[in-house]
Chain A
Amino acid sequence: MNPRDIWILYTMELRSALRERAIVVYSILLPIFLYPVMLWVMFSGMTFIQGLNEGFTSRIALLEEAPAGHEALVDSLEARDDVQITRELEEEEALARIREGELDAVLSFESPGGDGAALPENFRTVVRYDRSESRSRTAGSRIEETVERYRDRWMVREAEALGMEEADRVLFRLASEDVSTEEDMGAMFLGMILPLFLIIMVAMGCFYPAVDTTAGERERSTWETLMTTSAARIDVVAAKYFYVATMGVSAGILNVLAMFVSIGAVMAPLLGGEGGISFRMPLLAVPVMIAGAAGLALMLSAAMMILASFARTFKDGQAMIQPVYIGAILFPILIGQQTDQTLTTGIAAIPVANVAMMVRDAINGIFLWPLILQSLAVNLAVVGLCLWVARWVLQFEDFLMGSFDGSFWRFAKDRLGSGRKEEEETA
């Protein structure tokens, strides 16, 4: 291998890539801006909807007045600024209006039935609303809140009249305490989200460069130009590979940095405002994440380049590497469901999954060094396998000249199955 030639080809590929809009957008701008913008939009949207819900008046139909002695319940409901009571509606008409969106809830009172019927002044409050409509759900909540507050006040008053202290009437009360720290909660949320984002961004960062430098090169007819230069084939492939991996790693790192910058400002309020979440991360997590992103980028670049190099057009190339992209995203999604799982020997042996898990562990301050090293070794072994496959594929002239019409899988099946390897091999 000639490092000088690799460097010349590598810098040419990078320069060329940085002038291609799609690559700049998907490998650089998107990793930086997509998720902060997405989180900001989500936060703004939720705040806006919350504001709307809090701002509107709930239109409630009262089918009958409250039972005798409990008139104060309806009074307290009517006293609310965010509730408007409508009377003199029949049940059927009121329910029809809810369905049409002209009313938000219907309130009625009935006998409690069963043992509860024996108690004097007891009654059941019935609230009907449309759970599929946020406005109607809010109306239901407002009624429930008012009724519960009225009931609590009534019970306190009645208990006092009977001479009962609070300790006498409240038994077996549950007291639970969350012992997690703000940092624990932040790490849990980051651990669920960051591995997924990191892997998506690395995969996306590799995706367009891998297609552009293989199928795109064939489509533009620059492949044969390159083949006639004095650079060795292996140097050409190495330079292209390093270029795609660089784009993948930089996309991953840019995404992580962008997430750090934006997460405190955007995600903290989204997940609970001032109460209980702090997005801090051990400093040691950063090199672990970078190592994981680099290993992943090297692996995905190799796999994507092999598959895309069989395509004759950019579009075909995209279709051929789509399965790798989807496969890479599935692992972190599945692992994200198991928040109490840490890196094990078994998971460390599964490419992509091991990166997702070691990144999550690092965010949680867990550094299982032997397993982290095992994960990196497994990923490098996969890279080695991919490079061996690439070298094998490069031996065939119909691949080099682009005259083979089919995918990598068909190519491998043909060559390994028909025994024509010796005949067609030229290296």
Chain B
Amino acid sequence: MNTERATVSVRDLKKFFFDESRGEVRAVDGVTFACQPGEVFGLLGANGAGKTTTLRVLSTVLKPTDGEASIMGHDVVAEPEAARESIGFYSASTALYPRLTARETLIFFARINHYPEARIEERVEALVDRFGIEEYGNARVEKLSSGMKQKVSIARTIAHDPPVLIFDEPTVGLDVLNALEMVKMIRELRSEGKTIIFSSHIMSEVEKLCDRIAIIHRGNLLALGTLESMREETGHHYLEDIFVDHVTRAEGLEGAAMGVAGELEGEEAP
């Protein structure tokens, strides 16, 4: 891994919460990784593994308890605004303003993320063309179908042309066609040289899309590498088997695979 070229750098990152009933919860407990331009970096883990918490720390919504993280060389604690300026964050919980039109939405996000004022109009029109939203560009977002909203939402994520894009479970709640559209879009963005962090618990998506994969479980990074290197290391072909193998070993319990498979369906992040 070439850390000198890293656009995203995370070192020994920790994030603990206090919960009335559970006491101290170690949502992220010493995670380290770095991402390069033109790479899709996959964060794979069950629900509650710490993926969203890691991404929220990277997007400066949460502050780390310990460790370091930086985006394009900007420390997320010391320079949160500069770090955020370099990212586009997309997740199921980042909705659009319903009363703005699609065009107004793109203009707003380009401006608030400090895209050069003189080039905003040109940028917005390019995005409108690229995502095919010309027809409903002047319609309010609340009037759009979910597919149209998804397009506008991706467009607003890249409105300021950030070098780093964070997609937190972007296909959750989408139908098959829209999910495929999303995956296609992420591939296109990779080809433009963007650094993409893609979190998911859907093995097939990660398998198809990610150049490198980090398996995260109970806040710990269990494995990090390409799919090929993981296959060689574990002797399993399918990512699902690789994932279960790592988690089982981490749990140190025989038959934990059943429990892990169960977790993939259920528990919410803290």
Residues in A lying within 8 Å of B, measured CB to CB: 5, 8-9, 12, 15-16, 19-20, 220-222, 224-225, 227-232, 397, 400-401, 420, 423-424, 426-427
Contact = CB atoms under 8 A, between A and B. Distances in A.
Given A16-B97, A19-B99, A401-B61, A228 B89 contact: yes
Contact of A426 (B18, B62, B82, B96): B62
Nearest to B100: A16
A8 B89 CA distance: 20
Interface in B78-101: 80-82, 84-85, 87, 89, 91, 93-100
Interface in B85-136: 85, 87, 89, 91, 93-100, 104, 108-109, 111-114
B96 A225 contact: yes
B114 A230 contact: yes
A423 B60 CA distance: 18
Interface of B: 18, 56, 59-63, 80-82, 84-85, 87, 89, 91, 93-100, 104, 108-109, 111-114, 140, 160
A119 B56 CA distance: 101
Contacts of A8: 108, 111-112
Contact of B61 (A5, A19, A227): A227
A232 B95 contact: no
Contacts, number: 73
B84 A19 contact: no
B64 to A, nearest CB: 9
Contacts of A426: 62-63
Contacts of A220: 95, 97-98
Contacts of A420: 18
Q: Which 6 A-B pairs have the closest CB atoms?
A: A221-B95, A230-B85, A228-B89, A426-B63, A225-B94, A19-B99
B87 A19 contact: no
Contacts of A224: 61, 91, 93-94
Given A230-B81, A230-B114, A427-B63, 12 more contacts: A9-B112, A12-B97, A224-B91, A224-B93, A224-B94, A225-B95, A229-B84, A229-B109, A230-B112, A400-B61, A401-B61, A423-B18
Nearest to B85: A230
B18 A424 contact: yes
A228 B61 contact: yes
A50 to B, nearest CB: 47
5 contacts: A15-B99, A220-B97, A229-B109, A230-B114, A230-B160
Contacts of B98: 220
B18 A228 contact: no
Question: Which of A231, A400, A401, A427 has most B Cβ within 10 Å?
Answer: A231
A328 to B, nearest CB: 28
Contacts of A228: 59-61, 84, 87, 89, 94
B55 to A, nearest CB: 10
Contacts of A5: 112
B165 to A, nearest CB: 11
Contacts of B91: 224
B95 A231 contact: no
Contact of B104 (A9, A15, A397): A15
Nearest to B55: A228
Nearest to B91: A224
Nearest to B64: A426
Given A229-B84, A232-B81, A12 B95 contact: no
A230 B72 CA distance: 14
A232 B113 CA distance: 11
Contacts of A20: 99
A222 B105 CA distance: 12
Nearest to A219: B95
A175 to B, nearest CB: 67
A103 B45 CA distance: 87
A231 B112 contact: yes
A319 B99 CA distance: 24
Contacts of A423: 18
